[in-house]
Amino acid sequence: MKTDIEIARAAPKKPIGEIGEALGIPAEALLPYGHDKAKVGQAFIDGLAGRPDGKLILVTAVNPTPAGEGKTTTTVGLGDGLNAIGRRAVVCIREASLGPNFGMKGGAAGGGHAQVVPMEDMNLHFTGDFHAITSAHSLLSAMIDNHVHWGNEEGIDVRRVQWRRVVDMNDRALRQVTVGLGGVANGFPREGGFDITVASEVMACLCLARDLKDLERRLGDMIVAYRRDRSPVFCRDIKADGAMTVLLKDAMQPNLVQTLENNPAFVHGGPFANIAHGCNSVIATRTALKLADYVVTEAGFGADLGAEKFMNIKCRLAGLAPSAVVLVATVRAMKMNGGVAKADLGAKDVEAVRRGCANLGRHIENVKGFGVPVVVAINHFSGDADAEVEAVRAFAETQGTEAIVSRHWAEGGRGAEALARRVAAIADADVANFAPLYPDDMPLFEKVETVAKRIYRADEVLADKKVRDQLRLWEEQGYGHLPVCMAKTQYSFSTDPNLRGAPTNHSVPVREVRLSAGAGFVVVVCGEIMTMPGLPRVPSAESIRLNDAGEVEGLF
Amino acid sequence: MKTDIEIARAAPKKPIGEIGEALGIPAEALLPYGHDKAKVGQAFIDGLAGRPDGKLILVTAVNPTPAGEGKTTTTVGLGDGLNAIGRRAVVCIREASLGPNFGMKGGAAGGGHAQVVPMEDMNLHFTGDFHAITSAHSLLSAMIDNHVHWGNEEGIDVRRVQWRRVVDMNDRALRQVTVGLGGVANGFPREGGFDITVASEVMACLCLARDLKDLERRLGDMIVAYRRDRSPVFCRDIKADGAMTVLLKDAMQPNLVQTLENNPAFVHGGPFANIAHGCNSVIATRTALKLADYVVTEAGFGADLGAEKFMNIKCRLAGLAPSAVVLVATVRAMKMNGGVAKADLGAKDVEAVRRGCANLGRHIENVKGFGVPVVVAINHFSGDADAEVEAVRAFAETQGTEAIVSRHWAEGGRGAEALARRVAAIADADVANFAPLYPDDMPLFEKVETVAKRIYRADEVLADKKVRDQLRLWEEQGYGHLPVCMAKTQYSFSTDPNLRGAPTNHSVPVREVRLSAGAGFVVVVCGEIMTMPGLPRVPSAESIRLNDAGEVEGLF
């Protein structure tokens, strides 16, 4: 059997100009990066404003196994399937982070016969967007300490600098550092630390901004520190917002690539799915909606996190409304949710699948709660027993929801045609009546409770006085209208990764809250979150190299 | 009068494919980055091996004023001038560092009517080469501390880690830091620091490597730390060399852009001119030599540093031999070397010009010492008095060297035609008999003395026992054949920036020596060198922004 990278390398790519042309993008509006990648020019995007929008389809998933359930693969497969049945569809997914690829084996864009190419580039520098974000973030970092060094006119309390530095690499030694050592010329010593670039608020701002003006405003709104009187110091006060926008002007333009079947895909932006909202950029999604009849996109983690944030953050802030949701389920994930240990997932166990379907059922109910019709895609794995697959299908039917087996991994778009037909029919029927889960003017803590009770089915939210006071203070400062961005484990509806299935009688403890005033949400941390990963004992980097044919080995 | 950026924006650019085609590069061998930048594919470069080389012309300069003497401008002007008189010429210059542009107003590529475009891109992310270098460097940084964290099998003495981290930003607070704080999961605390990316040895390796195999070998040869027994730990021991090469595979391909007159220019690589050799990449120069009859290139700082390193490091290591040297002189620089204060350089002072010509005379003599014919280019400034210009010309004549006034800044290639004719005639005459100043097998300290006495005209080199012992140790370890890379002030032949003209009776104190075992030279530090600049009190970043037309303001 061929590996993903072998399939990807064997696929004949079309020149990116032809992919753009098929979408109606003229050659001069495409900024090529090599022959198989291009950015779509801002002026062309501006000119699309008057056009009607296509249908937006979200691909999300049940609570996953550690290997993932193939959300991206299904997103790509559905896109190809829609094109295969003669519909004009574009796929919108996130860009990959560079650093983690050097820790564990990387990061493909889909898998099997449902992939986006060029895969090597997408797992390395791609079009440089993340480097631009790192640069913009680093400029602000330097300007903050430089401001303090030269007199600190804004009165920054150096003990309360919120802005951490970033690097796009898994570098555990940088998690906590002391900077400014070495004497007068190097500034004032203080504690600080580095996150990985995808965790930068600059990333979240870029992904939620409508255009460069909106981006500049969001960057300016970011809080970088507090004064002794606890009043916030904004990025705008440090006067970094203009130059950061200049550094991001190319990165703000969506990247066009293609699927293995030469259908268009936008790959743009990649905010962390925990301390940020985990969706591709608003500008890519909005541009795609102007160019295609169907836009298939995905959100990070399971539907309890990804779909919830997609609806309550991205759609709310960008004025988007999905027409349908595809909920990806696998036999393996149902077994795991049914209590089977990871090592035993390969063995046939129909009863476990049936037990695990409780997880699927709750996700179906949750998604319907947003007013959007849902269809279940059973992402078919070669080891799945027919009876197991049938158990999932039959369960979905009991929930009033169709479940369709999709074989895009093995067969590409052709294998997803049945799914594509059903999704197109639902979207065309215009039955969605989307609404976010809570209104803007609900108090922040009530927003947290709403998500915890209605999505996680928790009994209560536990938060100490400090957290509650902080939320109230932000409300007083004018941030009460923001949505909340939940950070919790992806493996359970609850905050305990071992509580599989559809747990009840649990509580959601809030450890900490953080304000992303530029991106426009309040991060609610329920558990440990890691904003700077480390490398393992034997990093995959040790075996990554160019072979004699000039091909990358060991990255995939 | 138009500013540089106004001139650059008004110039009609040709599609980069046309520029490549005129050089004989087929469309499929060009990897476009937008419509006005492209990388030249490695396979095409490999296929050039059998072709004859064009003539290599180095542009260097007298000891400069702080504003610079227009070396890049003259390089570009001469390239345009050669094309204007019907010769096939390519310009090869360095890429700009991102960080410093946010401190002081940036970094153009040439000036007036002798510029390379697109200027904005070249001063921002360009084709991402420096970001790739930062990534490769950062991967090794992370892997070193990670190696120690997981058991330190190589036995790194954490007190003797030589490898500093880098970022492409002027961030004074990162010059000296403590990393690895915060507990067990974050590794072992140790002191460290960050340099700016152009100071990375990875940059020097990339700029001196012939191809990707050679690059991988050089990266592997870099010394990252020492063990308790003082034996070196190489990058290869940490197993980072393969993955770093993968990260650099695109960056290794030269970038093609164009001059304002639509002539080809390679802009590739940018090693620091103090702790590294300060020339564009060997691969760009060698590729250009295969494609053009004349390749005009430059080296950083004055000829005492730039030309010396170009000859003794780049040409030696790459097997290049220049056919002619253009020594750029300006009336202003002669006045400054004649003792006029910076504030008074605008006033006519023929006598001061005459006095300052001693500086020019010594550079002429030095360059001739390499066996290469030299012509003086008087880079004309609008305020220069005719008598001042004539004084320089007449002086050069007394040295047996022609001095030609060049008006490329005001007139473009047409203004450099006289210079171009003379340079072409010299190069065509094949009179050069290039040899480096010292043989490979000379002991390291004697190499330092050779440069100090023959180029700087110092009486002696002062170095304490520690420095001399270190050099001897490296000789024992097999590094004795390396050239030396001098780091000293650019403003004087001596190590005292205030000693203008042609000082004698001075000494060269060596503060420190460093081994760049991958790049392949021993850095000899004679004075303060700054490997991480800081931002000024009011960084130019504060006024950089996009205006309503979407143009970058404040960067230039």
Residues B418-440 pLDDT 10s: 999 999 999 999 999 999 999 99
Is B61 designated active site? no
pLDDT value, residue B106: 67
B255 near B247, Cβ under 8 Å?
no
Query: How would residue A421 be classed by pLDDT, with cut points 50, 70 and 90?
Result: very high
- Give, as one character, the DSSP assignment of residue A184: G
Which residues from B are below 8 Å from A554, CB to CB?
242-243
Q: Tell me whether residue B203 is in a domain.
A: yes
Domain count, chain A: 3
Strand order in the sheet with B484-487: B484-487, B521-525, B512-516
Q: Does B167 touch chain A (CB under 8 A)?
A: yes
Q: Does A341 touch chain B (CB under 8 A)?
A: no
CB burial of B445-483 (b: ≥16 within 10 Å; e: otherwise) equals: bebbbbbbeebbbbeebebeeebeebbeebbeeebbebb
Inter-chain touch A535–B187, beta carbons under 8 Å: no
User: Based on the domain organization, do A299 and A366 belong to the same domain?
Assistant: yes
Inter-chain touch B168–A135, beta carbons under 8 Å: yes
Would you say how long chain A is, in residues? 556
For A193, name the nearest residue in chain B, comparing CA atoms only.
B179
Which tokens is B160 given? 């003797």
The CATH number for A171's domain is: 3.30.1510.10
- Give, as one character, the DSSP assignment of residue B265: E
User: Based on the domain organization, do A409 and A369 belong to the same domain?
Assistant: yes
What is the Cα–Cα distance from B482 to A222, expressed in whole angstroms?
Answer: 50
Which tokens is A37 given? 């990648």
Q: Does A545 touch chain B (CB under 8 A)?
A: yes
For A30, name the nearest residue in chain B, comparing CA atoms only.
B34
A510 near A470, Cβ under 8 Å?
no
- The active-site residue out of B130, B310, B381, B556 is B381
Inter-chain touch B143–A175, beta carbons under 8 Å: no
Three-class DSSP labels, B446-514: HHHHHHHHHCCCCCEEECCHHHHHHHHHHHHHHHCCCCEEEECCCCCCCCCCCCCCCCCCCEEECCEEE
User: Based on the domain organization, do B138 and B15 belong to the same domain?
Assistant: no
Q: Tell me whether residue A438 is in a domain.
A: no
Query: Closest Cα to residue A341, out of A539, A65, A552?
Result: A65
For A194, name the nearest residue in chain B, comparing CA atoms only.
B179
Q: Which residues of B are annotated as a binding site for ATP?
A: 65-72
Which tokens is B490 given? 């650019």
Q: How far apart are the first and last CA of chain A?
A: 15
pLDDT value, residue A69: 84
For the CA atoms of chain B, what is the radius of gyration? 23
Closest approach of A139 to chain B, Cα-based (Å): 7
pLDDT value, residue B68: 80
B255-281: average pLDDT = 96
Is B286 designated active site? no
User: Based on the domain organization, do A472 and A493 belong to the same domain?
Assistant: yes
- The active-site residue out of B55, B71, B290, B362 is B71
A 498-537: CB under 8 A from B: 534-535, 537
Q: Tell me whether residue B531 is in a domain.
A: no
User: B547: how many CB neighbours lie within 10 A of its CB?
Assistant: 10
Percent of chain A with pLDDT over 90: 93
Residue B1 has pLDDT above 90, yes or no: no
User: Based on the domain organization, do B189 and B287 belong to the same domain?
Assistant: no
Query: How would residue B83 be classed by pLDDT, with cut points 50, 70 and 90?
Result: very high
For A242, name the nearest residue in chain B, comparing CA atoms only.
B545
pTM over 0.95: yes
What is the Cα–Cα distance from B293 to B68, expressed in whole angstroms?
Answer: 29
Residue B107 has pLDDT above 80, yes or no: no
Which residues from B are below 8 Å from A243, CB to CB?
102, 541-542, 544-545, 554
The answer for residues whose C-beta is within 8 angstroms of residue A12's C-beta and 6 or more apart is A262
Residue A550 has pLDDT above 80, yes or no: yes
The answer for residues whose C-beta is within 8 angstroms of residue B204's C-beta and 6 or more apart is B271, B276, B277, B516, B518, B519, B521
Inter-chain touch B249–A550, beta carbons under 8 Å: yes
Q: Tell me whether residue A192 is in a domain.
A: yes
Query: How would residue A105 be classed by pLDDT, with cut points 50, 70 and 90?
Result: confident
Q: Does B29 touch chain A (CB under 8 A)?
A: no
Tell how far CA A492 is from the center of its chain: 18
Report chain A's mean pLDDT, rounded to a whole number. 96
Tell me: the pLDDT tens digits for A450-485?
999 999 999 999 999 999 999 999 999 999 999 999
Is B259 designated active site? no
Closest approach of B435 to chain A, Cα-based (Å): 35
Residue A152 has pLDDT above 90, yes or no: yes
Q: Tell me whether residue B479 is in a domain.
A: yes
- Give, as one character, the DSSP assignment of residue B260: T
Which residues from B are below 8 Å from A546, CB to CB?
212, 216, 242, 245-246, 249
User: Based on the domain organization, do A280 and A407 belong to the same domain?
Assistant: yes
pLDDT value, residue B456: 97
Which residues from B are below 8 Å from A128, CB to CB?
125, 128, 131
User: Based on the domain organization, do A21 and A78 belong to the same domain?
Assistant: yes
- The active-site residue out of B199, B273, B427, B452 is B273
- Phi, psi for residue A328 in degrees, rounded to 5: -85, 125
- Beta partners for residue B89, in sequence order: B294
CB burial of residue B59 (10 Å; 0-12, 13-18, 19+): buried
pLDDT value, residue A106: 67
User: Based on the domain organization, do B347 and B317 belong to the same domain?
Assistant: yes
Is B409 designated active site? yes
Q: What is the signed CA dihedral for B136, B138, B141, B145, rounded to 10 degrees? A: -120
User: Based on the domain organization, do B396 and B319 belong to the same domain?
Assistant: yes
Inter-chain touch B132–A125, beta carbons under 8 Å: yes
B78-104: average pLDDT = 96
User: Taking CA B447 as the corner, what is the angle to CA B446 and CA B451, rounded to the nearest 5 degrees?
Assistant: 115
Any idea which residues of A carry the catalytic annotation?
A: 71, 73, 94, 105, 273, 301, 381, 409
Q: Tell me whether residue B303 is in a domain.
A: yes
User: Based on the domain organization, do A417 and A286 belong to the same domain?
Assistant: yes
User: Based on the domain organization, do A209 and A258 belong to the same domain?
Assistant: no
Name the domain boundary from A245, A267, A301: A245
Q: Does B208 touch chain A (CB under 8 A)?
A: no
Tell me: the pLDDT tens digits for B365-406?
999 999 999 999 999 999 999 999 999 999 999 999 999 999
What is the Cα–Cα distance from B459 to B509, expressed in whole angstroms?
Answer: 11
B493 near B502, Cβ under 8 Å?
yes
Q: Range of A449's domain?
A: 444-526
Three-class DSSP labels, B351-366: HHHHHHHHHHHHHHHH
The amino acid sitting at A398 is T
Name the domain boundary from B245, B260, B290: B245
pLDDT value, residue A245: 98
The answer for residues whose C-beta is within 8 angstroms of residue B105's C-beta and 6 or more apart is B540, B554, B555, B556
Query: Closest Cα to residue B495, out of B534, B532, B460?
Result: B460
Which residues from B are below 8 Å from A544, CB to CB?
242-243, 246
Name the domain boundary from A245, A262, A297: A245
A318-339: average pLDDT = 96
User: Based on the domain organization, do B92 and B135 belong to the same domain?
Assistant: no
Inter-chain touch A546–B245, beta carbons under 8 Å: yes
Residue B145 has pLDDT above 80, yes or no: yes
The amino acid sitting at A532 is M
Which residues from A are below 8 Å from B534, CB to CB?
146, 149, 185
B8-29: average pLDDT = 96
Residue A133 has pLDDT above 70, yes or no: yes
- The active-site residue out of B130, B194, B409, B445 is B409
B 145-164: CB under 8 A from A: 145-146, 149-151
Closest approach of B134 to chain A, Cα-based (Å): 9
pLDDT value, residue B385: 96
CB pairs under 8 A between A and B: 235
Inter-chain touch A243–B102, beta carbons under 8 Å: yes
Q: Tell me whether residue B549 is in a domain.
A: no
- The active-site residue out of B37, B39, B73, B109 is B73
Q: What is the signed CA dihedral for B512, B516, B519, B525, rounded to 10 degrees? A: -10
Tell me: the pLDDT tens digits for A250-274?
999 999 999 999 999 999 999 998 8
pLDDT value, residue A117: 96
A206 near A130, Cβ under 8 Å?
no
- Beta partners for residue A328, in sequence order: A61, A377
Residue A107 has pLDDT above 80, yes or no: no
What is the Cα–Cα distance from B355 to B388, expressed in whole angstroms?
Answer: 11
Q: Tell me whether residue B540 is in a domain.
A: no
Residue A413 has pLDDT above 80, yes or no: yes
Inter-chain touch B33–A35, beta carbons under 8 Å: no
B190 near B178, Cβ under 8 Å?
yes
pLDDT value, residue A527: 83
B123 near B107, Cβ under 8 Å?
yes
Report chain B's mean pLDDT, rounded to a whole number. 96
